[in-house]
Structure formats: C-alpha cells, structure tokens
Structure 1
Amino acid sequence: MATGWAGDGAVQDQIDATVKDAIKRARSQLPQGPGLRHCEECDAEIPEARRQAMPGVRLCIACQEVRDQEQAAQGGYNRRGSKDSQLR
C-alpha cells in the first residue's frame, strides 16, 4: 500500500538504485592496464605476489592503505537520510 507521494516499493527501489550505483562506482575504481613494478606514490618496489594478485596495481600496500582510509573518511551513501526525506 502506498502512502503519500511514494509508490509501492519506492523505498526498496531507492535502496536497489543506491546499491547499483555503489557497485558501478567500485568497479570504475578498479585498477586497469599493466601493473607497475614501483609504487607511483613513494617509488617503493611492489612485490611480485601483489602484482599477480592485483592486475593493474599502481600502489604499494602502505600507500593503498592510506588511500583507502582517505576514501572511507569522505563518507558514503546515506540511505537513511534519503528515506527520511521521502517521509516528510
């Protein structure tokens, strides 16, 4: 049963769209092309095992961890805020 302006399943549709967007964003950030032998940030050697495990790798583990932390600090999707805004 729909209430207000939202149709049946509107909240679930919004959640599904958010998940699809997140997957698309994550896939677009995967490394592509040939991997590097040395980190593009600090010039440290990238181990062969890492290059085989992550085709297209461009950063050493330490620099990748820093980048991951920076991206996590930027925040993500706020589905709850979006849902609440529909209920007003």
Structure 2
Amino acid sequence: MTHTLHQPDETLRELLENQLREHTDKLTELTGHARRRDRGGHDPDTLGRLIDTARQTVADTTTALRRMADGSYGRCERCDGEIPAARLEILPAARYCVPCQQRR
C-alpha cells in the first residue's frame, strides 16, 4: 500500500473515521457510567482513566482527520519529516515520526 502525503490512502481515512465513531460511542457510554450510582461496575479511578483515555483518543483522531483535510497529514509535527506509511498503517493518528516520538 503506497501513500502520498497529499493524498492519503482512503483506507486510512476510513479507519480514522471508524475509530472516531467507536471512541466517541465509548466515551458516551463511560460518561453515562460516571453518572450512575454504581459507576457501571467500575471503581472511580479506573473509570476516570478510561474516560481520559477515550477523550484523548477522540482528540487525536479528530486532529488526524483535520490534518488530512489541510494536507499536513503524514508529516511529523516536530521535525516536519515524512511519517512512513507503515507507521501510519499501524497508528493512523500518529503525529510524530519514530525518532521524534522517542525523544518526547
């Protein structure tokens, strides 16, 4: 599968859109649990961490879709180098190339 920076593979877009739907649904579900007296069977700390993780995933996925729309998808936010297609296939919301991610 070959991707160009200006025309990301439609499969990656679909994957990101599906992830956004799934994590938004999960966040809605977890937020509902937080309102319940029994917290849906979760202890407060675990539920809080799950909600934080879901929020971050929604934000990261939204950012990736925005980057696709503005043409900056596939470029490292730190060094502006190209993020390899193989990394994007594994982690479609990746914002950094591997060397820059390791430096963070």
TM normalised by structure 2 equals 0.42
Rg bigger for which structure?
1
* Structure with the larger helix share: 2
- Quick one: higher RCO (CA 8 Å, sep 6+), 1 or 2? 2
TM normalised by structure 1 equals 0.48
